[in-house]
Homo-oligomer: A and B are copies of this chain.
Amino acid sequence: MEKKIAVILGDGIGPEVTNQSLKVLNAIAERFEHHFEYTYGLMGADAIDKTGSPLPDETLAICLESDAILFGAIGDPKYDNDPTAKVRPEQGLLKLRKSLGLFANIRPVATFPSLHHLSPLKSDRLEDVDFVVYRELTGGIYFGEKKVDAAYTEASDLCSYNKSEIERISHHAFKATQQRKKHLTLVDKANVLETSRLWRKVVQEVAKQYPDVQVDYLFVDNAAMQLIVNPKQFDVMLTENMFGDILSDEASVITGSLGMLPSASVGATTALFEPIHGSYPQAAGKDIANPVGSILSTAMLLDHLGLFTEASLVRDAVAWTLESKFVTKDIDPINYYFTSTIGDLVSEYVAGRL
């Protein structure tokens, strides 16, 4: 199979974790006789430094011509700490998401037995936790009309949704649920919010096309409790933008390590794959960052390309490194391995040489 992959290394630890994913992709290509053509694009602080823009037109063009985008991380303290900065690294990612019409953010949350000790939750709550959050990414209150009065004594934000915005992400979520445990939970606040009632109505209609999927409904305040009390009850959680922001971040910490978590953003055009962690500038260049979030994002990318066996092998390789205690400093500050070593080990496993 021939595929074009846009690669955006970005800032901080972005390049070094993404480079491990490229090693893994190369090992997959070698073993399964695929050809992946990489085209590099600039984004973030790196792009500002080199071109003046956080998302040069060329990067966007590369992304639109590719089959998938592998992205590292962006953000640099020299821009964060400068209130006069007119362009900021984060604007690059927001513009890219918007330009590509990425309307769904997908965040798998799974716990690894060998990492239970790092989680704030007790071990008995962590067994068999394996779910995915589908968060609507372009609608709702974050993008609604905003108002302030002249005296700045009143302010408002409008949360609005229409049927098609809800339908398109719902179809993605239902299809994914069919490949999993066939249990979808819509999180809303339908006892209070009109937008939530619309979500519930539309999801009920969409559900008719997926009769093998069991659907249930949870209010967002209850969901925030259930994620801690009994996270293994979830399979696919579907929700609107702000609820998804809050709940996916809450869900991420129960695994014990933000460095392990991948994500995908899908939509109208090319899909984007990135670890949920940030650019972590303090660790940049030290070969200590955890590449697993990026490598598991690469597994999601392979699934997206229809390469399910390949994706599954990458996940097996990651599970093997964890069981073998080949982990980075964030997981074990005493007996740790370098970023590049983890990348080598996963690649060698994938290539069948280990």
Which residues of A line the B interface, CB within 8 A?
119-122, 125, 141-142, 144, 146-148, 152-164, 189, 192-195, 197-198, 201, 220-222, 224-225, 227-229, 242, 245-247, 249-250, 252-254
Contact = CB atoms under 8 A, between A and B. Distances in A.
B154 A120 contact: no
A231 to B, nearest CB: 9
Contacts of A163: 153-154
Given A122-B122, A155-B161, A161-B154, A194 B147 contact: yes
A195 B141 CA distance: 11
Contact of A152 (B152, B201, B224): B201
A228 B247 CA distance: 12
Given A225-B253, A252-B225, A144 B156 contact: yes
A229 B251 CA distance: 11
A83 to B, nearest CB: 14
27 contacts: A120-B229, A122-B122, A141-B141, A141-B159, A142-B193, A152-B201, A154-B160, A154-B161, A154-B162, A155-B160, A155-B194, A155-B197, A156-B159, A156-B160, A156-B161, A157-B158, A157-B193, A157-B194, A158-B159, A159-B159, A220-B245, A220-B246, A221-B249, A227-B250, A228-B253, A229-B253, A246-B246
A293 to B, nearest CB: 16
A224 B198 contact: no
Contacts of A242: 189
Nearest to A245: B221
Of A119, A157, A220, the most chain B CB neighbours within 10 A belong to A157
Nearest to A121: B120
A252 B249 CA distance: 18
A155 B158 CA distance: 10
Nearest to A221: B249
B249 A224 contact: yes
Given A146-B194, A156-B159, A159-B141, A249 B222 contact: yes
A156 B194 contact: yes
Contacts of A220: 245-246
Contacts of A254: 228
Contacts of A141: 141, 159, 193
Given A120-B228, A144-B156, A156-B158, A221 B193 contact: no
A110 to B, nearest CB: 17
A199 to B, nearest CB: 8
Contacts of A147: 194
A312 B247 CA distance: 36
Contacts of A192: 142
List the 7 shortest-distance A-B pairs measured between CB atoms, nearest first: A156-B160, A155-B198, A224-B250, A146-B194, A221-B249, A153-B163, A155-B194
Contacts of A159: 141, 156-159
B161 A158 contact: no
A256 B337 CA distance: 37
Given A154-B163, A225-B253, 11 more contacts: A120-B121, A121-B122, A121-B228, A142-B193, A146-B194, A152-B201, A155-B198, A156-B159, A221-B246, A222-B249, A224-B224
Contacts of A224: 224, 246-247, 249-250
